[in-house]
């Protein structure tokens, strides 16, 4: 960094005008990126990392403005530049890759045309045919197979990973000097994430480009970047070389973030900051006076989850799934197109097997992780157990009763229904925005429970709130007035309101920041121990599954490829696919305690 | 594509049968005895009975219905009792008048509303946004007969700029030979430019009246959907790639924003076609709306049934056109047959 940096951000403050006055999203931030350097900006939601990058591109929305400081990009003052100058820079000198690739592409325009739009704007070559060839070339470089055909594809016809490749092709089409990647792999599977990140690094290295990687994932930052900038609440708290920052974090926030990142060799408690670890557990226990426990929750079931529940062999498992199959009629685009043009469809099996004959069981008080990438059938399986979907064949036995034959519509009215509950992926979307937290929590009791009367319901609601560590004064708030972690707690309180025996957790922490995730995972673990519930934990994140689950089931294309105790599957995987999943996880070089 | 259209038309058949049955029953359920109406107030009981027999109203309802359905199948919509003309002929003569008026009104309305909505969305809070709000509020809150009358009062009575609101052509001109039924087109084909001017000047006021009314939903919808699309991530990507504002707004935002607007357009169009009775009355326009209302008042079944059936067919066709348009704009809906 002896030469003049490519990008130099000095004392940047960004303000947003809102109804409640001016909010400073970014305050006095200093960041510089040298030529050819890869810089990571790491922080949790609300840290201002995205806003900083928008300010660099000057694409802040109407309410936002650069209030103070300067942004210099290869000698150009971004703050003072005219809109025309900026437009010339964007896409040609600085370009950006966004989170959620599918939404980042125009849904009704061919991807090739979208790349061509950028080329046409920035490359002064009159020939139109030339642009078409260049667009195909751009697709080729991001390793899209059959680029000539894909040129004519619409975003909805491509997978998420493929869309992100198109977005990268779009961003790199004009050979910019700086690439800003804003959470480029959030929402993608680990193996896809690895492929996409490797591609970005390879392409930018080859062109000697600088890259800013904005992420919440410390592992990703460590694996791919030279330097790391840690941001908290709109300020930079630490800047250091990637190797240094992980070996020797200076700022307490950096330390907290690192602690909270799930990784090999640590237990759930290790994720929490030292002083909070004990108090968290204490809160949950305080809410659990044995006297208020439901009589059906026999105390003999609340055992230490670390003790293998499979010990009592003679007892029946809580959930038994036998040769479960779910088939969908195949409605591929090719078949429909073939019909339209009167052509014979290619010979394909008539049906698509989302779940292909899987069998497994969950014991009382056991938690089982169902792991796999999108499309592997893990969510379909959990939906069938919940009786939200009807299976094609196979049996589902819950607590000794056959529930596989119950129609999904009839199941909701059965008393059995209250014993299986679910916590959903998105804490915001899974709460009714017109219900207060208290109303959401008591909703299942009002549908299926036996508690009647305002006061009794309120008492039960407060009791549940105590259990999940939700302050009582928040109970009368609406979802939009709660933070992500608080909403997750409401979702959990709702799920345990009816004393379920089995709780299906569908990626319950996927939408949360790592520090909140650490707290929620610990909460789930404590609740399980004290209430004696079993969990079916559906997730794509092996590290998280390992922390919470006794056993792990790895699924791929509707089948179980590996099954075993968490420790064994993660430390000594047998199946190639499991190995691939494990190696795809970027590991931060963290000091292991 | 053709199979899709064929399929859609097939799906429309049950609803058309439903329309036939319901209109038949409804007209029979209406108060008023057509036989008594036509016999006149001085007629004797026997005379009324005789007319009833002649019209076939003495037969059981089910037999009446099958006769009606059989006639329909042969393209016979029945005969109007008031005018003595076959309903099919009258509708064929009057439908183009209504369609021409409605279409022109809609075109004027689109030409104003869509640019207004787009401009309002790209500059929220500006004077054009306020103009959009005021125009749309005024447009919906003024009833068509009122705007129609005001326009006639100002432009005909006070200023004398437009001709008397008495039908489709000035009395001095003869109607052009019927080819499309649209006077604007037929006069041009016949190279009768004087008549074209006359037809146009007759059309302007009623078309403007309709346009003012239909402006509001289209402009509001355009504004709202443009605002939503402009806030979307792919527009941000387009901006971050340095595309010119024109490309961003037209190619990226506008085409996507058009989808809900097209749906609104189809609703506005079908609504206008059937509901512009008041405009037709104010401007003495020989359209099907006024025809149907007059028939309804005199308990004249055949034209009412013919009118409802025509509107149902129009509606089916219109929806088909909208679906095809949707497919042209949005590749995602093309695959669903």
Euclidean distance between CA atoms A536 and A504, whole angstroms: 5
Q: Determine, for residues B241 and A337 on separate chains, whether the beta-carbon distance falls below 8 Å.
A: no
Number of domains in chain B: 2
Q: Determine, for residues A90 and B3 on separate chains, whether the beta-carbon distance falls below 8 Å.
A: no
In a domain, B163, yes or no: yes
- B62 & B116 share domain: no
CB–CB contacts below 8 A, A to B: 89
- B57 & B119 share domain: no
In a domain, B86, yes or no: no
Determine the pLDDT at residue A124: 66
| A330 at B interface, C-beta within 8 A | no
Q: Which of residues 109-128 of A touch B (CB under 8 A)?
A: 109, 117-118, 121-122
Which residues in chain B have Cβ-Cβ distances shorter than 8 Å to A167?
237
Q: What tokens were used for B218?
A: 């289209």
Decide which of B45, B76, B107 is a domain's last residue: B76
Euclidean distance between CA atoms B193 and A43, whole angstroms: 73
Which residues in chain A have Cβ-Cβ distances shorter than 8 Å to B330?
107-108
Q: What tokens were used for B203?
A: 């059309």
Determine the pLDDT at residue B180: 78
Which residues in chain B have Cβ-Cβ distances shorter than 8 Å to A105?
234, 237
In a domain, B6, yes or no: no
Q: Determine, for residues B335 and A337 on separate chains, whether the beta-carbon distance falls below 8 Å.
A: yes
Mean pLDDT, residues B70-79: 80
Determine the pLDDT at residue A311: 43
Say if CB A273 and CB A256 are below 8 A apart: yes
| Residue at token pair 């294309």 | A557
- Candidates A106, A166, A175, A335: best to mutate against B (most CBs of B within 10 A) is A106
Q: What tokens were used for B95?
A: 């439908």
Which residues in chain B have Cβ-Cβ distances shorter than 8 Å to A169?
none
- B68 & B105 share domain: no
- Work out whether strand A351-362 and strand A319-329 pair parallel, antiparallel, or are unpaired: antiparallel
- Residue numbers of chain A with a pLDDT score lower than 50: 1, 277-278, 281-314, 333-347, 591-593
CATH of residue B140: 1.10.3720.10
- B63 & B189 share domain: no
In a domain, B15, yes or no: no
Partners of residue A329 on adjacent β-strands: A351
Determine the pLDDT at residue A40: 92
In a domain, B210, yes or no: yes
* Number of CB atoms found within 10 A of residue B266's CB: 17
Which residues in chain B have Cβ-Cβ distances shorter than 8 Å to A90?
239-242
| Residue at token pair 């059965």 | A414
* pLDDT, tens only, A515-556: 888 888 999 999 888 888 999 999 888 888 888 899 999 998
For residue B289, pLDDT over 70 is answered with yes
From the list B124, B236, B335, the residue facing A59 with the nearest CB is B236
Cα–chain center distance at A111: 26
Euclidean distance between CA atoms B55 and B52, whole angstroms: 5
Determine the pLDDT at residue B292: 86
Mean pLDDT, residues B25-54: 76
Say if CB A399 and CB A501 are below 8 A apart: yes
Give A120 to chain B, closest Cα distance, Å. Answer: 9
Q: What tokens were used for A345?
A: 């469809």
* pLDDT, tens only, B103-162: 899 999 999 999 999 999 988 888 888 988 898 888 888 888 888 888 888 888 888 887
- B33 & B164 share domain: no
- B188 & B313 share domain: yes
Q: What tokens were used for A235?
A: 């300020």
- B137 & B53 share domain: no
* pLDDT, tens only, B168-184: 777 777 777 777 778 88
| A334 at B interface, C-beta within 8 A | no
| A186 at B interface, C-beta within 8 A | no
ipTM above 0.90, yes or no: no
| Residue at token pair 């000697």 | A208
- B159 & B36 share domain: no
DSSP 8-state symbol, A90? B
- B104 & B60 share domain: no
Which residues in chain A have Cβ-Cβ distances shorter than 8 Å to B233?
98, 100, 103-104
* Number of CB atoms found within 10 A of residue A583's CB: 13
For residue B325, pLDDT over 70 is answered with yes
Contacts of B255 (CB under 8 A, 6+ apart): A108, A109, B329
Which residues in chain B have Cβ-Cβ distances shorter than 8 Å to A100?
233
In a domain, B270, yes or no: yes
- B310 & B258 share domain: yes
Determine the pLDDT at residue B118: 92
CA-based nearest residue to A496, from A527, A523, A539, A537: A527
Q: Determine, for residues B243 and A91 on separate chains, whether the beta-carbon distance falls below 8 Å.
A: yes
Cα–Cα–Cα angle for A12, A14, A17, rounded to 5 degrees: 165
Euclidean distance between CA atoms A5 and A202, whole angstroms: 22
| Containing structural domain, residue B236 | 95-329
Q: Determine, for residues B331 and A154 on separate chains, whether the beta-carbon distance falls below 8 Å.
A: yes
In a domain, B223, yes or no: yes
Map residue A427 onto helix, strand or coil: coil
From the list A121, A339, A340, the residue facing B242 with the nearest CB is A121
Distances (CA, A) of A363 to A381, A501, A535, B65, B254: 17, 10, 10, 68, 56
Q: Determine, for residues A103 and B232 on separate chains, whether the beta-carbon distance falls below 8 Å.
A: yes
Euclidean distance between CA atoms A80 and A576, whole angstroms: 55
| A100 at B interface, C-beta within 8 A | yes
Determine the pLDDT at residue A590: 54
Give A426 to chain B, closest Cα distance, Å. Answer: 20
Which residues in chain A have Cβ-Cβ distances shorter than 8 Å to B243?
87, 91, 117-118, 121
- B52 & B130 share domain: no
Q: Determine, for residues B256 and A106 on separate chains, whether the beta-carbon distance falls below 8 Å.
A: yes
CA-based nearest residue to A115, from A152, A66, A86: A152
Q: Determine, for residues A107 and B332 on separate chains, whether the beta-carbon distance falls below 8 Å.
A: yes
Determine the pLDDT at residue A125: 58
Determine the pLDDT at residue A592: 43
- Work out whether strand A38-42 and strand A420-423 pair parallel, antiparallel, or are unpaired: unpaired
- B147 & B175 share domain: yes
Q: Based on C-alpha coordinates, what's the Rg of chain A?
A: 26
Residues of B near A (Cβ–Cβ under 8 Å) read: 1, 3-4, 124, 231-234, 236-244, 247, 251-252, 255-256, 329-332, 335, 337
Q: Determine, for residues A340 and B337 on separate chains, whether the beta-carbon distance falls below 8 Å.
A: yes
In a domain, B213, yes or no: yes
Give B240 to chain A, closest Cα distance, Å. Answer: 6
The rounded mean pLDDT for chain B is 83
């Amino acid at each position: 960094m002896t030469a003049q940096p490519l990008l130099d951000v000095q004392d940047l403050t960004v303000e947003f005008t809102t109804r409640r006055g001016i909010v400073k999203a970014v305050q006095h931030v200093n960041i510089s990126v040298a030529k050819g350097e890869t810089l990571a900006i790491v922080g949790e939601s609300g840290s201002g990392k995205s806003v900083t990058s928008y300010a660099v591109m000057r694409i802040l929305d109407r309410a936002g403005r650069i209030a103070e400081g300067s942004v210099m990009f290869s000698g150009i003052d971004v703050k003072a530049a005219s809109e025309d100058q900026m437009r010339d820079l964007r896409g040609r000198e600085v370009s950006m890759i966004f989170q959620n690739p599918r939404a980042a592409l125009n849904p009704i325009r061919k991807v090739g045309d979208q790349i061509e739009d950028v080329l046409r704007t920035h490359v002064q070559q009159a020939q139109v045919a030339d642009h078409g060839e260049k667009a195909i070339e751009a697709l080729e470089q991001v390793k899209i197979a059959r680029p000539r055909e894909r040129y004519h594809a619409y975003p909805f016809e491509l997978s998420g990973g493929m869309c992100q490749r198109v977005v990268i092709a779009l961003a790199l089409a004009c050979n910019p000097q700086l690439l800003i990647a804003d959470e480029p792999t959030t929402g993608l599977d680990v193996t896809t994430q690895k492929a996409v990140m490797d591609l970005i690094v390879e392409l930018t290295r080859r062109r000697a480009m600088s890259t800013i990687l904005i992420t919440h994932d410390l592992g990703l930052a460590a694996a791919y970047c030279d330097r790391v900038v840690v941001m908290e609440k709109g300020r930079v708290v630490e800047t250091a070389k990637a190797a240094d920052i992980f070996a020797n974090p200076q700022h307490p926030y950096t330390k907290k973030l690192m602690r909270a990142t799930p990784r090999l060799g640590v237990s759930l408690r290790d994720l929490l900051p030292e002083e909070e670890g004990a108090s968290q557990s204490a809160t949950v226990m305080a809410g659990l006076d044995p006297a208020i426990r439901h009589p059906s929750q026999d105390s003999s079931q609340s055992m230490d989850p670390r003790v293998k529940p499979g010990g009592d062999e003679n007892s029946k498992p809580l959930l038994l799934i036998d040769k479960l199959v779910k088939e969908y009629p195949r409605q591929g685009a090719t078949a429909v197109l073939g019909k339209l043009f009167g052509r014979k469809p290619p010979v394909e099996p008539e049906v698509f097997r989302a779940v292909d004959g899987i069998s497994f069981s969950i014991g009382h008080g056991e938690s089982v992780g169902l792991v796999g990438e999108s499309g592997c059938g893990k969510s379909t399986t959990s939906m069938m157990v919940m009786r939200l979907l009807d299976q094609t064949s196979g049996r589902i036995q819950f607590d000794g009763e056959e529930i596989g034959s119950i129609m999904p519509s009839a199941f909701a009215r059965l008393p059995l229904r209250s014993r299986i509950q679910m916590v959903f992926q998105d804490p915001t979307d899974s709460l009714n925005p017109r219900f207060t937290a208290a109303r959401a929590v008591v909703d299942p009791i009002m549908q299926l429970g036996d508690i009647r009367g305002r006061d009794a319901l309120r008492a039960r609601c407060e009791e549940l709130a105590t259990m999940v560590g939700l302050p009582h004064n928040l109970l009368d708030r609406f979802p939009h007035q709660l933070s992500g972690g608080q909403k997750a707690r409401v979702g959990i309180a709702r799920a345990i309101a009816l004393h379920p025996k089995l709780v299906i957790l569908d990626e319950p922490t996927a939408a949360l920041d790592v520090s909140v995730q650490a707290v929620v995972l610990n909460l789930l673990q404590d609740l399980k121990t004290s209430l004696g519930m079993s969990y079916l934990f559906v997730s794509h994140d092996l590290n998280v599954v390992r922390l919470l689950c006794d056993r792990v089931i790895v699924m791929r294309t509707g089948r179980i490829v590996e099954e075993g105790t968490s420790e064994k599957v993660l430390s000594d995987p047998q199946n190639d696919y499991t190995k691939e999943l494990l190696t795809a996880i970027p590991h931060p070089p963290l000091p292991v305690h | 594509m053709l199979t899709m259209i064929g399929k859609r038309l097939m799906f429309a058949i049950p609803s058309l049968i439903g329309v036939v049955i319901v209109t038949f029953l409804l007209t029979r359920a209406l108060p008023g005895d057509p036989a008594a109406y036509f016999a006149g107030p001085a007629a004797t009981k026997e005379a009324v009975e005789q007319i009833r027999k002649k019209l076939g109203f003495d037969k059981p309802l089910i037999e009446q219905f099958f006769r009606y359905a059989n006639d329909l199948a042969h393209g016979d919509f029945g005969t109007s009792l008031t005018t003595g003309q076959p309903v099919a002929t009258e509708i064929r003569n009057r439908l183009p008048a209504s369609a021409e008026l409605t279409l022109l009104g809609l075109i004027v309305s689109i030409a104003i509303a869509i640019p207004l909505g787009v401009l309002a969305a790209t500059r929220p809070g500006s004077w054009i946004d306020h103009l959009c709000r005021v125009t749309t509020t005024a447009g919906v809150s003024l009833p068509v007969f009122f705007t129609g009358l005001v326009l006639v009062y100002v432009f005909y009575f006070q200023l004398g700029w437009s001709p008397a609101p008495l039908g489709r052509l000035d009395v001095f001109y003869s109607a052009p030979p019927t080819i499309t039924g649209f006077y604007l087109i037929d006069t041009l084909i016949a190279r009768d430019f004087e008549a074209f001017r006359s037809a146009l000047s007759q059309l302007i006021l009623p078309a403007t009246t309709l346009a003012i009314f239909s402006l509001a939903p289209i402009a509001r919808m355009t504004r709202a959907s443009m605002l939503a699309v402009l806030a979307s991530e792919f527009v941000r990507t387009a901006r971050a790639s340095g595309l010119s504002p024109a490309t961003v707004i037209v190619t990226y935002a506008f085409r996507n924003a058009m989808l809900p607007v097209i749906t609104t357009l189809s609703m506005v169009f079908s609504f206008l076609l059937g509901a512009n009775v008041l405009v037709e009355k104010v401007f003495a326009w020989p359209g099907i709306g006024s025809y149907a209302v007059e028939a309804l008042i005199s308990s004249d079944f055949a034209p009412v049934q013919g009118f409802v059936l025509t509107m149902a067919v129009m509606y089916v066709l219109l929806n088909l056109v909208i679906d095809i348009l949707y497919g042209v704009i949005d590749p995602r809906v093309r695959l669903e047959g």
